[in-house]
Structure 1
């Protein structure tokens, strides 16, 4: 009897599950049909809107075409009445004077610039590779430009003594390059070798002659470095003279202007005390 009851209950459960599955399947089919109907309605609405838009655009184009046609007729009439015939074809030839320096020829001192170019060429040729002490160096180490770049990198790393050694060797190879003395002066300033900084700055200024636009930046650095060394030695009058010389090269430099004004105040205070 228990087994019969169990079988009966199982059958009823299976029948109920089958009814539930059919109901869910029917609900799903109805939902899909509803979605399809909605999709068709949306598609129809879109087609109607598209048709209306195309109709408007076509109407606008027709109006614009009519307007352009009338405007073109008016413009053609104006052209016929007022526009002259085309000019004949021609060509203009312009020749420029070749220049090494960026300044115009009318503003340049040709003799001074030619002298500067000659000195630069001489400096490139003057290579003292026959010095016995330099015979064991590598090939790149006999190049003053390579040594200058190496000294600049050492200076950036604040290894000023090593940078001075690189500049020293470069100067022994070629003592006509002003930037070597200028950079070595910067190292001496950092190490408080003030007299050597003055000596190197003066040598750089000697090589940076004649004063032309191409060496203006180097001359300004040389004056400032020498002026700084003079001021640190408390030779303020000499320092002010160098700063004023730098300002003549670049009068708009605010930093140099402020430093020169500070030096003037120091000189005035010293005179008042004395």
Structure 2
């Protein structure tokens, strides 16, 4: 049975009560304090202090300080009156038990309310964090969509510029061909005039010689006879095709078997160098350029041949996987084909590459 502590001291004012309780050599860690508006208990085994307070106190704002072998209470009164004593006297055990049970129920109810308040606050924090994450993801998605839209607009402008350049080049070529044809026609006309003038001169000379004598006429009449010059041939071009050969020597002078063996060895060596990308075996040199493949993919995209454009971008990425525009263009193709997951994946890769480039360019950011 615990020992009741009676050697305590207290003093009061109209608004507060100051209570000092000795710990009697007990460790601070073993001290348990329980306080409600009508009940105060301090348990530090084997000692126990219990007080049924004379009047209600504000237990939420009251304070306790444990240290230096003493427990000091500062209890604030709910009504500013002077107490006759610290604890109520003359009450039986049943009333004290009811006061204890009521205090315990109040403490439990208060603890439950505090737990519910903490849970509600935690839910609010989680809701706020979820809203923040959703906003961040929405901003990120909008940023990616803006980047894709900007790239699409840029690609469209580049395509329009290229078409305009091709149109102007065709017009310029057509004008050049017409000018060249007019120059040739003019040159042919001038040659015709010269030949006609030369023929007329010969005709006049033959007539002059005919007036000098009949003998002369018999000798030179046929020689200086006016000649009918045929019309020039029409302008045309003859196309000649040659069989492509690796070796410059003529086929009749070459050793076909030795050449085929040499070409076979060169092809095997090239395949050994490109074992990581088998698709490069039969490509031309310009087709191994990622920029050329990117332009090819853009042209196929403009003609709505999205699968062929994806193949071009795939090969370009295998050659160089550090160009973000390749991933964005392929994402646009996937978007047209409704492959949304692949479009998001390629857009994310392009974003990571551009973010890495920005860090390399501006390391302090």
> Same fold by TM (over 0.5)?
no
Structure number with higher strand proportion: 2
Structure number with higher helix proportion: 1
TM-score, normalisation: structure 2:
0.23
TM-score, normalisation: structure 1:
0.30
